[in-house]
Structure 1
Amino acid sequence: MVSKNIRPTVADIRAMKARGEKISMLYVTTEEEAAAANAAGIHMLSIEGRFFSPQMREAAGRCFVQVGLPYGGWGTFQGRPLATAEDYLRAAFHFAAMGGDCFYCAASYDIQKTLCDNHVPIVAHVGLIPSYITWTGFRAVGRTGQEALKVWQQVKQLEAIGCFGAELEVVPDKVSAFISKNTSMIMLGMGAGPGADAQYLFAEDVLGHTQGHKPRHARTYRNFAIEYERLQNERVAAFKEFIADVNSGAYPAPEHNVAIADEEFARFVNQAQAGS
């Protein structure tokens, strides 16, 4: 078992799969969410590169962190989109120095292979891939035998080039279970049923503050939307009370002011008037 004071490694996550242990995973965007995940005992976090920092890594504690490398128009690294294998490798090494444990990469097989050949733990993506939706639309992928076979073939190709794992998004549960049992990669299931190696959700869905459409696979455990609305109403009320106090003279009150002794104030006035 891994020491409670040391965060897991790739080898540890693989060992969890081999033992058939359940793996929990969350996508987070703030230090508060990362710290809460660590305190709760979440195994893995997904953090986009634009949100990742030494402070975020510290907040994540013992969580195994997947850092998302930006793809095409979905983000930039050091001011520009990643395009070449060298670009991706530079970004991966940059985030590894901050404490990233593995790296999400949705680029081409040759770019992913370059990263793997340089011993960078890569998590790819199969099934519904948001950055590729122009080819599939937002729908479940793998509901026909032919399409399920294509997903399986993609998994085997990713395995062959050395990927550590892959996000398995919105595929039928039976297909997911078959794939997870028959690959050495860690399959991070999002809407892929209980047979995936990990269960992966967005913190905003878990906490109930998703705006707009909520995915079918999402499960909400708290209603932060109500809390955010209450807090916003409280902000408005507090600001109105502040305006009222300014208008009435109730603010600032004596306790908010800096005092000056009468004799010092008199000396100041005399000198100011003498010099004017």
Structure 2
Amino acid sequence: MSTAKKQYKRVTVKSLVDMKAQGEKISMLTSYDYTMAQIVDRAGIDVILVGDSASNVMAGHETTLPITLDQMIYHASSVVRAIERCLVVVDLPFGSYQSDPKEALRSAIRIMKESGGHAVKLEGGKEIKESIKRILRAGIPVMGHLGLTPQSIYKFGTYTVRAKEDAEAEKLKEDAKMLEKLGCFALVLEKVPAKLAQEVAESISIPVIGIGAGNGVDGQVLVVHDMLGMTHEFNPRFLRRYLDMYTEMTNAFKQYNTDVKSGDFPNDKEQY
């Protein structure tokens, strides 16, 4: 069992590598706005991911594809203003890095300069190798993302577990080692078999953070709306709901509506 060995006043990319070396698990949650990020930061979470999942939980899109670079910068800026301790990693959205390494660098620079984020995350392996290299050469920290890559949903056609077959598993292992060799500081593995994820984590020196990848990796990430139970129709096996905010919030809104309609709110103590 691992325990925290050091109190990090400010979490950096080096902090995460140190945590892995010391056997300390890394905690990571998404945030997209100032208020939520402030709470997450003060709770002692290590990393905030400003995920392109904002496309789903904030904007109501079916996939992560529609969110734009400008929108990601807006969300990331809101998060950065709230934090004192967390490392803030920002997703590069679909279309901002896949086609051209120069465009990838321009997108990453905009994220860093305009939002104040600390690092960027890109989905994919050898297909985006040149984009990653160009971003890293500019001094911008990069987190990789392998396994289920939601920006490629129309290629896969499903959100099912990835790398169950030998060929895909072998490619994933090769891509993970390539990302480490290029200089990525960490890697997210999404929805892959636990045994494979552990094998990857043990084969590379950079932290591997899992979502639906078992407990043999170096840390975990969840979408904050999911783990708080604000979403209620999304029920993957890997999700643990720590609250039932959907029910709690619905009841609170109903009670407020009742109190307003009845004239109970505001009462004598709630007015000037």
Give the alignment's TM-score, normalised by structure 1.
0.77
Q: 3-state SS of the aligned residue for 1:60?
A: coil
Give the equivalent residue in structure 1 for 2:84. Answer: 61
Query: 2:39 corresponds to which residue?
Result: 36
| Aligned 8 A contact 2:226 2:234 in 1 | no
| Compared CA separation, residues 129 and 88, structure 1 to 2 (3 A) | same
| 1:130 corresponds to | 150
- The equivalent position to 2:186 in structure 1, one of 142, 150, 165, is 165
Does structure 1 retain, via aligned residues, the 8 Å contact 2:47–2:86? Answer: yes
Within the alignment, does 1:100 sit opposite 2:123 as a pair? Answer: no
Residue type matched to 1:122 in 2? V
The answer to whether the 8 Å contact 1:26/1:44 transfers is yes
CA RMSD of aligned residues (A): 2.6
CA distance in 1, matches of 2:89, 2:244: 26
Do structure 1's residue 236 and structure 2's residue 257 form an aligned pair? Answer: yes
Moved more, 99-108 or 130-139: 99-108
- Secondary structure of 1:65 counterpart: strand
3-state DSSP class of the match of 1:52?
A: helix
Question: Relative to 1, partners in 2 of residues 1:174 and 1:3: Cα closer, same or farther, differing over 3 Å?
Answer: closer
Structure 2 counterpart of 1:89: 105
**C-alpha distance in 1, partners of 2:99/2:257?**
45
In the alignment, the residues of structure 2 paired with residue 35 and residue 176 of structure 1 have an alpha-carbon distance, to the nearest angstrom, of: 31
* Greater radius of gyration (CA): 1
Q: Identify the structure with bigger relative contact order (alpha carbons < 8 Å, sequence gap 6+).
A: 2
Q: Is the 8 A contact 1:170 1:190 kept in 2?
A: yes
- Aligned-pair CA distance for 1:99: 3.2
* 1:1-276 mapped onto 2 (5 Å cutoff): 6-48=9-51, 49=72, 50-53=74-77, 55-72=78-95, 84-97=100-113, 98-106=115-123, 108-136=128-156, 137-241=158-262
- Tell me if structure 2 keeps the 8 A contact 1:165–1:188: yes
| Cα distance in structure 2, aligned partners of 1:201 and 1:105 | 17
Q: Which residue does 1:248 correspond to in 2? A: none
Q: Percent identity?
A: 30
Aligned AA for 1:94?
Answer: R
Distance 1:88 1:183, change over 3 A: same
Deviation for aligned residue 1:114? 0.8
1:2–1:8 Cα contact (<8 Å) kept: no
User: Residues 220 and 118 of structure 1: is their aligned pair in 2 closer, same or farther, counting only changes over 3 Å?
Assistant: same
- How far apart are residue 230 of structure 1 and its match? 1.3
Which SS does the other structure have where 1:67 is aligned? strand
- C-alpha separation in 2, matches of 1:161 and 1:82: 17
> d(CA) in 2 for partners of 1:194 and 1:40?
22
Q: Tell me the amino acid that sits aligned with residue 62 of structure 1.
A: R
Q: Which amino acid aligns with 1:198?
A: G
Shift of 1:103: 0.7
Which structure is higher in helix share? 1
